[in-house]
Chains A and B, each alone.
Chain A
Amino acid sequence: MFRFLNLTLSGVSNGMIYAAVALALVMIWRATRIVNFAQGAMLMFTTFIAWDLAQRHGVNYWVALVVAMVSGLIVGGLAERLLVRPVETGPPLNAVIVTLGLFIFLQGLAGMIWGSSQAHSYPPGFSIVGYQVGNRTLLFAPNDLYIVIAVALLVLVLYLLFNQTPVGLRMRAAAFNPEVARLLGVRVGRLLTAGWALAAAVGALAGILAAGTQPGYVIPSGPFDALLVYGFTAAVIGGLDSPVGAVIGGLVLGILLSWADSYIDNNVEGMYALLILIGVLMVRPNGLFARQRVRRV
């Protein structure tokens, strides 16, 4: 029972990170109907920037985190303006290929700057020594609590932004019905850029949080690619269109993976994620939280 509790807690902590990646994917999907396959590489790149500052130049953890998120804003905004905008009106596959291209480009660029085979470690925000309960150690440390609180705060801020502010209302209108939004005076182009920028900043936070969970995380290819797969799985579980679904999808995936790793075998974690993905798609092809579309004829 104690083991079960431990695995669940550890799953919640990982799941919150997947939730943040899933949120980034969902935000971009909602804004531009594109699955951003470059999300993993974008957050890898911003994490490298923060790593460079924190480990090589002795910059404070929190400053590095802010720099990573601001870099995310810039990378995301530029990606939308320079790469996605020109292919927006073409077939959807064009945009997918552009994001794949950006993924390969960023991976190569990071390799050129920081080396492609050397795995670096990123400092966690807080202690990774688990809390003590009686004489037993929980698989849940102050750093895990920090992850849970950070992502929960992020969700709260995004919720308030989208639902309680004029800018959020404009962003939703631009995403749901760009033509009507423009007729109502909404500058749709700008808001789509802002949506991508914001999503990439969310991804950047996820990258920093993930990088601190295990040594040797910071490397151009590998762990961050897996993170994208988990984030994508979480987003699809949640229906790809629903921010609430993304968060719940992330938590469900984190907990299931944590159980499977320990009770079955921890060498094939990626396979479990794909099995869960296939299972969800077979039962609920639109994901668990997709809003039912009622078509009027």
Chain B
Amino acid sequence: MLAIDDVVTTYGAVRALDGVSLQVEPGTITAVLGANGAGKTTLLRTINGLVRPTSGRISYEGRDLLRTKVENVVQAGIAHVPEGRGVITELTVDENLRLGALWRGDRSAMNESMRQIYEMFPPLAERRARSADTLSGGERQMLVVGRALMSKPKLLLLDEPSLGLAPRITAQIMATLRRLRDQQGMTVVLVEQNARSALSVADNAVVLNLGKVVAQGKATDLAADEKLRHAYLGF
């Protein structure tokens, strides 16, 4: 579904991604793991076009993503979930959600999606007219996930959804991802520093270190590899 082939992304002299290749199969959750500065976030930003690689290819359902404008990526069916700070705090909860579906230009479909999101995340429904500024960290994370789902994506890219959240809330987010995969066949790329919780829901995983893929395979295999866990995953 998503094919990343030998991608190199540089910031000045730093090779943030140094020949990364990755296949993401439909209906699976792929975890991208690694320490700070391993290139995880850069990988996401390269997929959605916020940064352009110096070489390599990225295609999504046969479409060349490197020739797709950032603004058009969402129309291709890819939704980006920035970390919780990606809520637009000056807007209300309602407005943040609506923004996710605006490009569809279909008011009744939007209202229907909104109803589903509020059903999925009841705490948001109670605060729909409030400024997103007033939300807690966990609610913000629900809001960015909900906003991404408003665009009816086929592929969901998540950037560190567990960052700064209590373990109980992280577990809820992971459960939501599992449900989306099982019930809607959603494909998910999950960038996480919290390897343990990411591996608990992921089907496949890659481990990045200094811009290179150091391990790749089934999530259960990686979780069972004690050496790998100690060297790169910190548990």
Query: Could you list which residues of chain A lie within 8 angstroms of chain B, going by C-beta atoms?
Result: 166, 169-170, 172-173, 176-177, 179-188, 291, 294
Contact = CB atoms under 8 A, between A and B. Distances in A.
A180 B82 contact: yes
User: Which of B73, B74, B88, B147 gathers most chain A CB within 10 Å?
Assistant: B88
B119 interface: no
A184 B102 contact: yes
B90 A184 contact: no
B102 A187 contact: no
Contact of B80 (A176, A177, A183, A186): A183
A176 B89 CA distance: 8
B91 A172 contact: yes
A181 B88 CA distance: 9
B71 interface: yes
A186 B99 contact: yes
Interface string B23-49: 000000000000000000000000010
B172 interface: no
Contacts of A294: 133
A166 to B, nearest CB: 5
5 contacts: A170-B102, A176-B90, A176-B91, A183-B80, A186-B102
Contacts of B86: 177, 180
Majority SS of interface residues in chain A?
helix
Contacts of B98: 166, 169
Nearest to A292: B133
A185 B88 contact: no
Interface of B: 48, 50, 70-75, 80, 82, 86, 88-91, 95, 98-100, 102-103, 133, 147, 151
Contact of B103 (A176, A185, A291): A185
A184 B91 contact: no
B71 A169 contact: no
Nearest to B82: A180
A170 B89 CA distance: 14
Contact of B74 (A166, A185, A188): A185
5 pairs of A and B residues whose beta carbons are closest in the complex: A185-B103, A185-B74, A183-B80, A176-B90, A182-B70
Contact of B82 (A166, A169, A183, A187): A183
B151 A184 contact: yes
A169 B102 contact: yes
A250 to B, nearest CB: 22
Given A166-B98, A177-B86, A182-B70, 17 more contacts: A169-B95, A169-B99, A172-B91, A173-B88, A177-B88, A180-B86, A182-B71, A183-B74, A184-B102, A184-B103, A184-B151, A185-B71, A185-B72, A185-B75, A185-B102, A185-B151, A294-B133
Nearest to A189: B71
A241 to B, nearest CB: 9
A185 to B, nearest CB: 4
A172 B90 contact: yes
A180 B88 contact: yes
Contacts of B103: 184-186
A173 B91 contact: yes
Contact of A184 (B50, B74, B133): B74
Contacts of A182: 50, 70-71
B99 A184 contact: yes
A104 to B, nearest CB: 34
B47 to A, nearest CB: 11
Contacts of B133: 294
Nearest to B96: A173
B71 A179 contact: no
Contacts of A172: 90-91, 95
B173 to A, nearest CB: 19
A195 to B, nearest CB: 15
B228 to A, nearest CB: 32
Contacts of A166: 98, 102
Residue among A172, A177, A187 with max Cβ neighbours from chain B (10 Å): A177
A183 B91 contact: no
Contact of A173 (B70, B73, B99): B99
A188 to B, nearest CB: 8
A179 B83 CA distance: 13
Given A169-B95, A173-B91, A186 B50 contact: no
A116 to B, nearest CB: 43
Contact of A183 (B48, B90, B95, B102): B48
A183 B73 CA distance: 7
A187 B91 contact: no
Given A176-B90, A179-B50, A184 B147 contact: yes
